[in-house]
Copies of this chain bind each other. A is one copy, B any other.
Amino acid sequence: MKNYVIGIDVGGTNIVTALSDLKGNVIIKTKIPTEAYKGYKDTIRRIKEQIEYVINEVGLSVDNIAGIGIGVPGLIDVEKGICYFSGNLGNEWQDVNIREDLNKFFNVPIFLDNDVNVAALGEKYFGAAKDCKDFIYITIGTGIGSAIISDGRMIRGHRFCAGEFGHLTVDKNGPKCSCGNVGCIEAIASAPAIARRIKEKINSGRKSLMVEIAGGVDNITAKTLSEAYDKGDELAIEIMKETGEWLGIAIAGYINIINPELFIIGGGVSRAQERLLKYIREEVNKRAMKIQKESCKIITAHLLDEAGMMGAIAAILEYLNLI
């Protein structure tokens, strides 16, 4: 009986491989370093080994596996199973047919999608968006990405690139973004952008507990912010408020355009929880249209560290119509 699926979260740092039943209960999982520098072929080989390991370890065989779901940080053609590009995994992950390469070892259905879409599916089936047909999931970490579920379906776009919310311009003449544009919300409110803004203020003479907390200006990260905020640090409060305002401007626009029932914020920065969300909500309340804002709850993600793994499981279960 094919009563199990495999979910694989290929992250920039680690690869998590999980064996799950058809309800999303994880039976066993492994975590290995991604070490993408070893190259694409080597990574595929190690993924293969992890799959074999989780199957064998609980006394199953490939015959028990209904399918394999994979989340990859890159531009994925979900129809062909190809990764066209991955900034995180390096040049060797350009135009590689991951599905085909894994199908050589495992003759089962394989579905891959980009990490943000997969995380959104995780929230849809196992997290914050259960029974919700219209929602937006954004992730704020090293970058800012998003996925749109409309009427129960993922909006993928003409070339599978939909959801690039991080590159919405919110400040015409704002800071330079990695994408080449200026004033993208990612260049203001991603984790590195928040850290950069804090450091700029401190280097221009502002005092802050954050220097002490982090053990030096250069060690300040977005995580430092919440701790200093809780201690009433003036600069931390100012940066948290500004970050929430800019995010609120962008999110209000996004809500106006998509009219979701739920707006889920995941990724590392979402760990600031209500400290940040209250400013986001205030700004959205000022800027979004009446029905749009009244009918949309803004919340943080439920899955966080498990988003990729549970999302990959959700993705294959949805692909196989088993969920």
Chain A residues packing against B (C-beta within 8 Å): 75, 133-134, 146, 148, 150-151, 153, 155-165, 167-172, 179, 181, 249, 252-254, 256-261, 286-289, 291-292, 295-296
Contact = CB atoms under 8 A, between A and B. Distances in A.
A287 B157 contact: no
Nearest to A261: B158
Contacts of A254: 257
Nearest to A258: B162
Contacts of A162: 150, 257-259
Given A158-B296, A161-B289, A161-B295, 15 more contacts: A148-B257, A150-B157, A151-B153, A156-B259, A157-B260, A160-B259, A162-B259, A164-B256, A164-B259, A164-B289, A168-B253, A169-B249, A169-B287, A170-B172, A181-B288
B259 A167 contact: no
A253 B167 contact: yes
A258 B165 CA distance: 9
Contacts of A295: 158-159, 161
A172 B169 contact: no
Nearest to A160: B259
Name the 4 nearest CB pairs between A and B, nearest first.
A157-B259, A168-B253, A134-B158, A158-B261
